[in-house]
Chains A and B, each alone.
Chain A
Amino acid sequence: MEVRVQNVRKEFDRFPALHDVSLDIRSGELIALLGPSGSGKTTLLRLIAGLEMPTQGKIFFGDTDASEKTVQERNIGFVFQHYALFRHMTILENISFGLKVRPRSSRPPAGEIRRRALELLDLVQLSGLEKRYPSQLSGGQRQRVALARALAIEPAVLLLDEPFGALDAQVRRELRKWLREIHDRTGHTTVFVTHDQEEALELSDRLCVMSQGKIEQVGTPDTVYDHPTSPFVFGFIGESSTLPVTVENGELWVGGRAIGIPAGDASPGEARLFFRPHDVDLIEADASLAGVVSTARRVGGTRRVELEIGGAGHLVEVDLPFDHPAGEKTRLAFRPRRWKLFPAG
């Protein structure tokens, strides 16, 4: 099912949590809502679910306007951050809840409900635990029950709010792979919220970066990573270093020195240069970014050094091979391989 969010604004007691947000979610895709805390991800997800109503704007499910529809009518599967499993029901009862509460006319017979619930339990790899209660499961297992419960009603859209937020890194990675598999097998249109960019980049078909109640950029993980359209996205997705520069004579200057980077079509004046710390070449040319190492530390397979550039004391990070002999006070010169220029401010 396609979902279109059209110019939606949401206020809580006059406080705008979302400003004029528009987003087209394609049928069958797995899209991630990514952004810092308080950027409005949960709010957007709850608006799609119908757990909140927009102050302005509309939300379409396919061609029908869902803005006036209740949660129940929207037929969504919602997986809550803290699972919200029914603690007094067994796992099997939890999973079959959505089918059992259907009106008699559309409710499958009891045997059929049980069969479907067991099938889902198998899908989420928890066969044999159907008689347990939620309190007798681990966090990862609870999360999977929550997903099975949401899938049981064959939702038009599956919405997940930080599905792995409360789990440790190891379990997160496993569940991530597993969620992707389930998505590929069931083909549900899926929206999931996360503030873990690694998760978003690895798992999603497209991602939607949000900040302060606005959508900053929507695109495939590669597009967003390689071609960020705003300083915020560049800084938020992946590692980044930034430096104030001056555009003059079609070149970039730092502290009165040309650094060997063409300005392209940037207008003369102040600007900000962004690049990835790992995407640099060490060079010996005059026209380069040169600085003195202020700290150097080994991070896994690389050595990350902080360089003090020019006289103004701007600090940038660059990655070197871990066996590079750079230590404190070493002088280094480099040039980014890829970069992006944004207006200052």
Chain B
Amino acid sequence: MATKLRARRLRRTSPTSESRLVQFLLIAIALAFMGVILLLPLYAVFHEAFIKGVGAFFAALGEKDAQAAIRLTLLVAAIAVPLNVAFGLAASWAIAKFEFKGKAFLITLIDLPFSVSPVISGLVYVLLFGAGSFLGPWLKSYGIEVLFALPGIVLATIFVTFPFVARELIPLMQDQGTGDEEAALSLGANGWQTFFRVTLPNIKWGLLYGVLLCNARAMGEFGAVAVVSGKIRGQTTTMPLQVEMLYNEYNASAAFALASLLALLALVTLVLKTALEWRFGNEIAAGH
């Protein structure tokens, strides 16, 4: 009798564990959901990309406009990501290590791009630099085109992606406090030495994580860029825009060939992100 009771009790491994059936159902629902929402589309992208064979796939990628779109996307990311790293470092340094008025406001401001629809962000730049604005014609008189050109695309991308690095670093740096920096200063290090030898190594994995997310978003951004780019084929179309244009022209296989590159970027980002989380989880701020 007593052993029977114990056996029954043992089956429940912890007070919060549900019965087998419930566990099975929950896991099955989660997997099915993931399959339909995530894996199936991913499969579809690659399937469509190769539907006309490997040759057609590479031909689509080698096409002149596709090449231009890839180059533009890489260029925009190469400008926007470093600028956002610099901005993110400065903002999180200020927020984590100093006390000043308006700090809470600055933190809220950093989150703004997350809460504003990307299309609105794009429209703001159209209003700022468009033909009817004050800034646009003035810059144009100096020969600088912002809208429907590279500067506009870069600005919109920066706006949409600037929270990533800062949001990653602020909690990390707040958590680490100023102790290490004070120690370095007391040992005679100057500001730069303190930053490069103490602060940066302390945050490097968190920074890398933020850069990864920032880059993925910068290359994949559609809404804001669509508004400011003017979609001039071969000139101001980034990869996501090019995909949409090809698709609208019923050129599905070329559209998906390009899309598969973006999907690949997402997969690589995911793998690196997981690897970072797994290896340096305690050095990367939680909250993602």
* A residues adjacent to B (C-beta < 8 A): 49, 51, 70-72, 75-78, 80, 82, 84-88, 97-98, 101-102, 149-150, 152-153
Contact A87-B185, Cβ < 8 Å, known A101-B190, A101-B193: no
Q: Using CB atoms, name the residue of chain B closest to A98.
A: B187
> Could you write out 21 A-B pairs with CB less than 8 Å apart?
A49-B186, A51-B186, A71-B182, A71-B185, A76-B186, A77-B186, A78-B183, A80-B182, A84-B180, A84-B183, A86-B184, A86-B197, A97-B187, A97-B197, A101-B187, A101-B190, A102-B188, A149-B187, A150-B186, A150-B187, A153-B187
Q: Are A72's CB and B202's CB within 8 A?
A: no
Instruction: Spell out B's residues near A (CB within 8 Å).
Output: 179-180, 182-190, 193, 197-198, 201-202
Cα–Cα, bound, A85→B188 (Å): 15
Q: A82 contacts which chain B residues (CB < 8 A)?
A: 179
In whole angstroms, what is the CA distance A153 to B183 when docked?
12
Q: Are the C-beta atoms of B182 and A84 separated by less than 8 Å?
A: yes
A78 touches B186 (CB 8 A): yes
Chain A min CB distance to B202 (Å): 7
| B52 → chain A closest CB, angstroms | 51
- Smallest Cβ-Cβ distance to A149: which chain B residue: B187
Closest partner residue, chain B, to A78 (CB atom): B186
Contacts of A70 in B (CB 8 A): 185
Contact A80/B179 with A87-B202, A88-B201, A88-B202 known, Cβ cut-off 8 Å: yes
Residue among B179, B182, B184, B190 making CB contact with A97, cutoff 8 Å: B184
Q: Closest approach, in angstroms, between the C-beta of B279 and any C-beta of chain A?
A: 14
Q: Specify the chain A residue showing the minimal Cβ separation from B180.
A: A84
Please indicate the chain A residues that have their CB under 8 angstroms from the CB of B190 in the complex: 72, 101
Note all chain B residues with C-beta closer than 8 A to A84: 179-180, 182-183
Q: State A85–B179 Cα separation when bound (angstroms).
A: 9
Contact B188 A153 (CB under 8 A): yes
Total A-B pairs, Cβ < 8 A = 59
**A71 engages B183 (CB within 8 Å):** no
Residue ID in chain A nearest B190 by CB atoms: A72
B185 contacts A72, C-beta separation under 8 Å: yes
Query: CA separation between A88 and B205, bound complex, in Å?
Result: 12
Q: Which residues of A contact B185 (CB under 8 A)?
A: 51, 70-72
A77 to B187, CA, bound (A): 7
A75 touching B202 by the CB < 8 A rule? no
Roughly how many angstroms separate A286 CA and B166 CA in the complex, as a whole number? Answer: 78
Which B residues lie within 8 Å of A86 (CB)? 180, 183-184, 197-198, 201
* A36 shortest CB reach to chain B, Å: 23
Complex-state Cα separation, A102 to B198, whole angstroms: 15
**Chain B residues closer than 8 Å to A49, beta-carbon distance:** 186
Known A51-B182, A85-B183; further 14 A-B contacts with Cβ < 8 A: A71-B186, A72-B185, A72-B188, A75-B188, A76-B186, A78-B186, A82-B179, A86-B183, A86-B198, A87-B202, A101-B193, A150-B186, A152-B187, A153-B187
| Closest-CB distance, A191 to chain B (whole angstroms) | 14
What residues on A are CB-neighbors of B201 within 8 Å?
A: 86, 88
A78–B188 touching, CB < 8 Å? no
Give the residues in chain B near A75, CB-CB below 8 Å.
188
A77 neighbours in B (Cβ, 8 Å): 186
Alpha-carbon distance between A86 and B179 when the two chains are bound, in angstroms: 10
Chain B min CB distance to A323 (Å)? 51
By a CB distance below 8 angstroms, the chain B residues around A101 are: 184, 187-190, 193, 197
Among A49, A101, A150: residue with most chain B CB under 10 A: A101
Nearest Cβ in chain B — how far from A100, in angstroms? Answer: 8
Least CB distance from B191 to A in Å reads 10
Minimal Cβ-Cβ distance residue in B for A87:
B202
- Shortest CB distance B177–A (Å): 9
Minimal beta-carbon separation of A147 from chain B (angstroms): 12
Rounded to whole angstroms, the CA-CA distance of A78 and B179 in the bound complex is 11
With a 10 A CB-CB cut-off, give which of A70, A86, A152 has the most chain B CB atoms: A86
Please name the residue on chain A nearest to B204 by beta carbon: A88
Chain A contacts of B189 at CB under 8 A?
Answer: 72, 97-98, 101
Most chain A Cβ neighbours within 10 Å, of B189, B201, B202: B189
Give, as a whole number of angstroms, the nearest-CB distance from A165 to chain B: 14
* Whole-angstrom CA separation of A77 from B193 in the bound complex: 18
Note all chain A residues with C-beta closer than 8 A to B183: 78, 80, 84-86, 149
Q: How far is the CA of A304 from the CA of B161 in the complex (A)?
A: 69
By beta carbon, the residue of chain B nearest A12 is B99
Minimum CB distance partner of A70 in chain B: B185
